[in-house]
Structure 1
Amino acid sequence: MRRVRVLGSCGAYPEPGRACSGFLIEWDGFRLVLDLGYATLPRLLSHCPDGVVDAVVITHEHPDHCVDLHGLFRMYLYGEQRGRTLPRYCTPGVLARLEGLEPDADLRTVFDIFELPGAYRVGPFELTGVLLPHYVPNVGVRLQAGEVALAYTGDTDPDPLLATLGRDADVYIVDATDREGELLQPDRNLLTAAEAGYWATRAGARRLLLTHFWPGNDREKAAAEARSVFNGEVLIAEEDLDIPLAAN
């Protein structure tokens, strides 16, 4: 099975029945997690009851993208997976955030830590992490397996690197926060849905998956705004949505 499972789709904080940013990528038995924000761990465990995954990639240190990594750490530290290590790819701020939650534990007893940005071979994937503009260091992530590419922005301001990151991607997962007055924010570092569509078009992506919705926003309206500038398929991230991955 080759697919993306949506674990969470909200930005900032979860709405009732939803979770913040998180995705499970499955590729012929290899399981890779992209971000673990608020309320994503229970959803991950519904698909992987023992918590066993092959790699975790965290885009940045904001809690709506990383806080449930703490729960996964504790499962490996105290639970049935005790003694196993888990490769973790992240920016340095993620490590500092988790150390603040576990000041008396050595994170390296659970995690093999690989710093992003950078490029690595991760199971079937060539993983590339590039810095994108945000309030804290944030990496956009590209996963390439043969002819199939999946890309994910994390959170970002518009940047020309977005076209490169998502180049010819089968699925491009893009921040579409749409906070009220987003375009008027003096120090904005998040995208609108229309901007998500624009950069997916520039990238030549096949499908666009909108995510990181501001709580309370109209998701169908966001999708319509993205479709106004993107001619490919526009998908709305919904918890437990499965998206097959295939070559273009």
Structure 2
Amino acid sequence: MRQVTVLGSSGGFPEPGRACSGFAVDWDGYRLVLDLGYATLPRLLKHWPDGVVDAVVITHEHPDHCVDLHGLFRMRFYGQPEGPRLPLYCPPGVLARLGGLEPDVDLHAVFDLHPLPGSYRVGPFDLTGLSLPHFVPNAGTRIQADGIALAYSGDTGPNPSLAELGRDADLFIVEATDRDGETRRPTRNLMTSTEAGVWARRAGARRLMLTHFWPGNERAAAVAAAQVEFGGAVLAAEEGLTVILGTPDS
């Protein structure tokens, strides 16, 4: 089984019935998490009821991408105190941000920190984190195994590194915040769905999944706008959606 499941798709804060950024990757029994924003941990535990996770990747320290990592910390620290430390790949600011929620306990007691950007061997994957522009350090992440690549932008403004990150990816998960006035801002730290389509096309990705939808935005319109630029299959991240990786007709 090689698949990715959407845990959350909202940007900034959750909409009713949804969660913020998060994805669960199943790869022949290896379990990797990409981001754990608001309300993603209960969905993760529904997906993996035993709570077993092999590695976690957090793209950046904004709470809509990392705050439920603190819940996972507490589950491990208090519920599984004798277990091995969990490999965590993230920019250094993530644990510094979450440390304010638990100042009397060292988060490194649970997490084995590996800083991003950088490249690592993680279970079956070659993992690469590339720096992308955002309000805080953000590491777009690419995992690859057996010639199949999954890429995820985290939060980013338009940047040539997106083409490198998503190069020939089977699935490129790209933020499409579509926040009002975004294209008129002097410094670009978020993207539109149209821009997501542009960069996925430049990357040569096979499929594009839009995520990080600003609450209240019409997702069908975002998919349509991205489709004009991308030309290939465009999906909207929806909580509970599972995409099989590496199959030509999934």
Deviates more, 1:206-215 or 1:50-59: 50-59
- Report the Cα offset of residue 95 of structure 1: 1.2
Give the Cα–Cα distance (whole angstroms) in 1 for the partners of residues 100 and 82 of structure 2: 21
- The Cα shift of 1:78 comes to 0.4
Amino acid at match of 1:220: A
- The structural deviation recorded for 1:80 is 3.7
| 1: CA distance, partners of 2:82 / 2:76 | 5
Residue deviations 1:120-140 (CA, integer Å, cap 9, x gap): 000010000010000000001
Offset at residue 247 of structure 1 (A) = 5.9
What amino acid is aligned across from residue 198 of structure 1 in structure 2?
A: V
**Number of aligned residues:** 248
The answer for the alignment partner of 2:183 in structure 1 is 183
1:29-44 aligned within 5 A? 29-44=29-44
State how far apart, in whole Å, the 2-side matches of 1:34 and 1:155 are. 12
Tell me the residue number matched to 1:97: 97
Where does structure 1 lack aligned partners over 5 or more consecutive residues?
Answer: none
Unaligned runs of 5+ in 2: none
Taking structure 1 as reference, are residues 169 and 81 closer, same or farther at Cα in structure 2, changes over 3 Å only? Answer: farther
Check if 1:119 corresponds to 2:119. yes
Segments of 4+ moved more than 6 angstroms: none
Query: What amino acid is the match of 1:37?
Result: G
- Matches of 2:241 and 2:247, distance apart in 1: 20
* Aligned residues of 2:158 and 2:188 also touching (Cα < 8 A): no
- Find the counterpart in structure 1 of residue 84 from structure 2: 84
Separation in structure 2 between the aligned mates of residue 21 and residue 144 of structure 1, nearest angstrom: 21
1:101 is paired with a residue of what secondary structure? Answer: coil
1:108 Cα shift? 1.6
Deviation at 1:18, TM superposition (A): 0.1
Q: What's the CA shift for 1:119?
A: 0.3
Aligned amino acid, residue 127 of structure 1: L
Equivalent residue number for residue 165 of structure 1: 165
Cα deviation, residue 82, structure 1: 4.2
Quote how far apart the aligned CAs of 1:50 are. 2.7
TM-score by length of 2: 0.97
Hey, what's the Cα distance between the residues in 1 that align with 2:137 and 2:35? 14
- The secondary structure found in structure 1 opposite 2:24 is strand
- Aligned 8 A contact 1:153 1:173 in 2: yes
